[in-house]
Amino acid sequence: MFSTSQSLPLRWHLVRITLGTLIPVVAFAAVVVFQLARTERESVELRVLRSARALASAFEREMSGSIRTLHALAESDHLDRGELEAFHDECARVLRTQPAWRHVLLIAPDGQPLLNTAYPWGSPIPAIADPESLARVVETHQPVIGNIAVGRGARRALAFPVRVPVMRGGALRYVLTAVITPESLTSVVTRQAPGDEEWTRTLVDSRGTVAARTVDPGRFVGQPATSSFMQKTHDLEQGVFANTSMDGVPVYVAFRRSQPSGWIAAVVTPKRILDAPVTRSMLIVGGFGFALLLVSVGGAWVFSRNLERSITGAATAAAALAEGAPHRMEPSSVRELTRLGEALERSGRLLRERERERDANLAAAEAARAEAVEATRAKDAFLAMLGHELRNPLAPIVTALDLLRRRGLAGTPEHEVISRQLRHVVRLVDDLLDVARITRGQMSLHREPLELSSVVARAVEATAPLVEQWRHALEVDVPTSGLRVLGDADRLTQVVANLLTNAARYTAPGGHIQMRARACDGGITLVVEDDGQGMPPDLIPRLFEPFVQGPRTLERSEGGLGLGLSLVRSFVEAHGGRIEAHSDGPGQGSSFTVWLPGHEDAVAPPGPSEQREGIAPMVEAASGEPLRVLVVDDNVDAAEGLADLLGLNGYQVAVAHDCAEALSQVDALRPHVALLDIGLPDVDGYGVAERIRARMGDASPVFAALTGYGQDGDRARSHALGFRHHFVKPIDIDDLSAFLEALRPVRSEAG
C-alpha cells in the first residue's frame, strides 16, 4: 500500500504544475527574443557593411573625378610641343578649379620632376615624396592613387598623389600628378554620416595610414592604423570583425577595400550599440519571467488551500461510502467537486445496480476479447498461409538439389544454374513478404565490381523458358566488357529479369524483344524494347507504384501482384540510377530505359548537386586572376545578397538590375560568367544575353539562367539559347559554387 508519508500536499503539486508549465514558456520566449535580437544585430551589421561600401564608392567617385581631370589635362597640346612653361601656366589655371588639389606636378618616367605648380617656373623643384606610386604608373601605364606621405616642401604637409600616365605614340612620355590633401577627404567621409549616429567613418591608405576620419581627425589623420586592423583586413575585400579602436574602445569594424587603389573604407561602431539589443532582451525576458513565476506560484498556493479542503471532504465521503455509511459532502466553490459529492451520494443508491451491470459488461468484454483473438488468429493464419504458399513451390526444388548433392551430381553446370536462381527466388520471396521494408528502400545490397554483361546473361538465362514459351525473338546487344558497375548482382539480375518478363508477358506470341546497353552520360544505359500491347498515357506516370498493373487478358492471368516494376525502381535508385518508361500508346509497344552510374561513380545515389548538367569550361583568364561574375537580377536584395556570397568566396562580382545597367557593367568588368534573371523588366534575360554576345563577341562570358521558372520547357529553352546551366530560385549556393569552381582549372591552365 502507498504510504502517505511519500506524498505531497495538493498545494505543492499545483506549484509544481505551475512551474512546469511556465518555465518552458519563459525559456521558449527567451529563445525567441534572443533570436529576434540576434537578427536585429545581424541587420545592423549588414547596415554598417553597406555604409562601408557606400563610403568606398564615394571615395572611388571622388578619385575618378580627379583622374578624369588629369586625363583631360594630359591631352594638352603644350605637352606635344614640349612647351612646359606654357603647360605650367595651364596647370595653374586648372588647379584653381580643383579645391581638393594642393598642386600639380609633371614628372619624367625616370622620376625627375619637370614642373611643380607650388614653385614658380624655373625654380628648383624638390624630389617627389612617393616614388612607389610613380614606379607603379611607369610599370602599368595605368592611373594610380598613392599613399599618404609627408611633402618635401617647406611646410612638410601630409598629402597623397593621384598619378596618370601621359602617353604619346604608345610610349610613356610623362607622369602627371595631382597632389591632394587629406583635408579634402573630410567631405567624403562626413557626407556618409548622419549626425545622430555614433559610427566613426575612416579612410585608410594601402599602407595603413589614416587619411580621413569623422571623429577627432586632427589627432589620428596621418597616424598608422592598429596592427590588428591591418591583419584582419589583409587580402580581404570586405568584412565585419570585432576589434579595439585607435583610442582603445571595444568596437565592431565593417570595411570595404576600394579597387584598384587598395585604400580601405571602414565604419567603426561601438560594441555596446550592436550588443545592446541582446542584453536588453535578456534582461526584459528574465525580469518578466521571474515576476510571472512569483505571481503564478503565489496564486496557486492561495487557490490550493480552498481546493485542498474540498478534496479532503470528498475523500471522507468516499471512505464512508466504502464502509456503507451515508455521508453528505459540504458544498464547494469548485463545480467539479460539488458534482463529485452529488455523484458519491448517488453511488450509494446505485451500487447494487452497478454490480449487476458490471457482471453483464464483463461477459460482453469477454465475448469481444474472444472475437478479437479469433480475428488475430485469422490474420496470423492468413500470413502463415501466404508464406506457405509462396515457399511451397520452392520446397521440392530444395529437396531435389539436396538429393543431387548426396548422389554426387552437384558439380554439373545445370546444378549451379539452379542453385543460383533458387537463391535469387528465395531472396525475392523474402522481400515480397516485407513490402514495407522494400518501399522504404531498406533492402540489403551486396555490392561488388561486375560487368553488366554478366548480369544480363543471368537474367536472359532466368527468363529463357518464358521467352521460349511465347516464341519471342530476343535480340541482345550488350558488350561483354567495358560496362562495369558497382552493384548487387542478384538485385541487378532481378531488375533485368523483371523487365524481360514484363516484355514477354505483354507481347503477343511470336513478338520481338530487344535489349541493348551502352556507355552514356557518365554511366551505363540499358534499354529493353518490345513490340507488344504498349501502355495508355495515363498509366505511365503511375507505372512504378506498388500494385499498379496494365490491362490483363486471360492468357496473362498468371501475372503477379503488381510489385515488379516498383521493385525495379527501388533497386535501380538504391544503386544511384534511374528508370524511365515510354510507349506511343496501346498496340505500339513499350520501352524501359535504365541508367546506372559507372564503377567510379557508383558509390552512393547522387544528390541534387551531383545531377547537374556537365559543364564544359569555356573561360580563359590570366593565371591567379579572380573569376569575374556579373549578376543581373531586378530583385535588388537577391542580387546584392548573391553578390556578397560570391564575393566572400573570392570572386570579383558586379551587379546590375536591368539591361542597360548590365551592358554598362559588362564594359567595366568584362565578366567570365553572367548569371541572368530571365524575368527582367523591359528586356528579359534571353535578350540581355543576346546583347552581351553582340557587344563582346568571342569574349562573351558563360551564361547561366537564374530564374523562378523551372519547368522542363523552361530548361530546354534556356539551353537552346546558349545558357550553360539553369538554376531555379531559391538558388543553392553549393550548386552554384560547384558550377563556378568547375571553370577554375581550365582558367588557370589558360593563363
CATH number reported for the structural domain that contains residue 486 in this entry: 3.30.565.10
Q: Are residues 515 and 661 in the same domain?
A: no
Q: Are residues 532 and 680 in the same domain?
A: no
Higher pLDDT, 422 or 189: 189
For the chain, give the percent of residues with pLDDT over 90: 24
Report if residue 336 sits inside a domain.
Answer: no
* Measured distance CA(232)–CA(625) in Å, rounded: 22
Residue 226's pLDDT band, with cuts at 50, 70 and 90, is confident
Closest residue by Cα to residue 488 from 524, 454, 514: 454
Dihedral sign for Cα 664, 665, 670, 676, please: negative
Question: For residue 270, what pLDDT is reported?
Answer: 85
- Are the beta carbons of 67 and 122 closer than 8 angstroms? no
Q: Could you write out the DSSP letters of every residue in 174-198?
A: EEEEEEE-GGGGHHHHHHT--TT--
* Measured distance CA(442)–CA(448) in Å, rounded: 18
- Kindly give the interhelix angle for 733-741 and 636-648, rounded to the nearest 10 degrees: 50
Question: For residue 446, what pLDDT is reported?
Answer: 81
Q: Are residues 632 and 724 in the same domain?
A: yes
Does residue 690 carry a pLDDT above 80?
yes
Using CA atoms, how far residue 705 sits from 238, 344, 537, 721, in Å, is 27, 77, 32, 10
Number of domains making up the chain = 3
* Measured distance CA(328)–CA(390) in Å, rounded: 70
| Per-residue pLDDT tens digits for 305-335 | 666 666 766 667 666 666 656 656 666 666 6
Does residue 304 carry a pLDDT above 90?
no
Higher pLDDT, 127 or 402: 127
Closest residue by Cα to residue 743 from 625, 644, 654, 608: 625
Residue 29 is which amino acid? A
Domain CATH number, residue 686: 3.40.50.2300
Report if residue 45 sits inside a domain.
Answer: yes
Q: Which of 606, 624, 648 is the last residue before a domain boundary?
A: 606
Report if residue 440 sits inside a domain.
Answer: no
Does residue 675 carry a pLDDT above 90?
yes
Question: For residue 320, what pLDDT is reported?
Answer: 66
Cβ within 8 Å of residue 417, ≥6 positions away: 461
Q: Are residues 174 and 142 in the same domain?
A: yes
* Measured distance CA(356)–CA(395) in Å, rounded: 57
By residue range, what is the domain housing residue 275? 19-292
For range 495-511, the mean pLDDT: 91
Work out the angle at residue 564's Cα, subtended by the Cα atoms of residues 562 and 566, and round it to the nearest 5 degrees. 85
What count of other Cβ atoms lies within 10 Å of the Cβ of residue 450?
17
Arithmetic mean of pLDDT over the chain: 78
Q: Which stretch of 32-46, 102-116, 259-273, 371-385 has the lowest confidence by average pLDDT?
A: 371-385
- C-alpha grid cell, residue 549: 498493373
Report if residue 406 sits inside a domain.
Answer: no
Does residue 475 carry a pLDDT above 70?
yes
* Measured distance CA(408)–CA(645) in Å, rounded: 72
DSSP label at 510?
A: T
For range 456-485, the mean pLDDT: 92
* Measured distance CA(298)–CA(306) in Å, rounded: 14
- Are the beta carbons of 433 and 386 closer than 8 angstroms? yes
| Per-residue pLDDT tens digits for 439-469 | 444 456 788 999 999 999 999 998 998 899 8
Report if residue 475 sits inside a domain.
Answer: yes
| Per-residue pLDDT tens digits for 10-69 | 666 666 677 677 677 767 766 776 677 677 777 777 888 888 888 888 888 888 988 999
Question: For residue 455, what pLDDT is reported?
Answer: 94
Residue 252 is which amino acid? Y
- Dihedrals phi, psi of 7, to nearest 5 degrees: -100, 170
- Range with top average pLDDT, 259-263, 391-395, 607-611: 259-263
Q: Are residues 135 and 261 in the same domain?
A: yes
Report if residue 501 sits inside a domain.
Answer: yes
- Are the beta carbons of 321 and 54 closer than 8 angstroms? no
| Per-residue pLDDT tens digits for 715-730 | 888 899 899 998 877 7
Q: Which of 292, 327, 362 is the last residue before a domain boundary?
A: 292
Place of cell 540489403: 444
Q: Could you write out the DSSP letters of every residue in 358-419?
A: HHHHHHHHHHHHHHHHHHHHHHHHHHHHHHHHHHTTHHHHHHHHHHHHHTT-TTSHHHHHHH
Cα first-last separation, the chain: 88
- Dihedrals phi, psi of 580, to nearest 5 degrees: -135, 150
Q: Are residues 563 and 702 in the same domain?
A: no
Q: Which of 250, 271, 292 is the last residue before a domain boundary?
A: 292
Q: Are residues 580 and 724 in the same domain?
A: no
Report if residue 381 sits inside a domain.
Answer: no
Does residue 746 carry a pLDDT above 50?
no
Place of cell 524511365: 580
Closest residue by Cα to residue 45 from 261, 238, 332: 238
Higher pLDDT, 280 or 520: 520
- C-alpha grid cell, residue 417: 544454374
β-pairing verdict for 448-451 and 484-487: antiparallel
For range 282-289, the mean pLDDT: 71
Q: Are residues 559 and 650 in the same domain?
A: no
- Kindly give the interhelix angle for 84-96 and 10-74, rounded to the nearest 10 degrees: 140
Does residue 598 carry a pLDDT above 90?
no
- Are the beta carbons of 66 and 162 closer than 8 angstroms? yes
Closest residue by Cα to residue 180 from 199, 164, 159: 159
Q: Are residues 601 and 680 in the same domain?
A: no
Question: For residue 439, what pLDDT is reported?
Answer: 47
Q: Are residues 570 and 641 in the same domain?
A: no
Domain CATH number, residue 37: 3.30.450.20
Report if residue 599 sits inside a domain.
Answer: yes
Does residue 648 carry a pLDDT above 50?
yes
* Measured distance CA(121)–CA(308) in Å, rounded: 108
- Dihedrals phi, psi of 327, to nearest 5 degrees: -155, 135
- C-alpha grid cell, residue 532: 507488344
Q: Are residues 468 and 560 in the same domain?
A: yes
Q: Are residues 636 and 560 in the same domain?
A: no
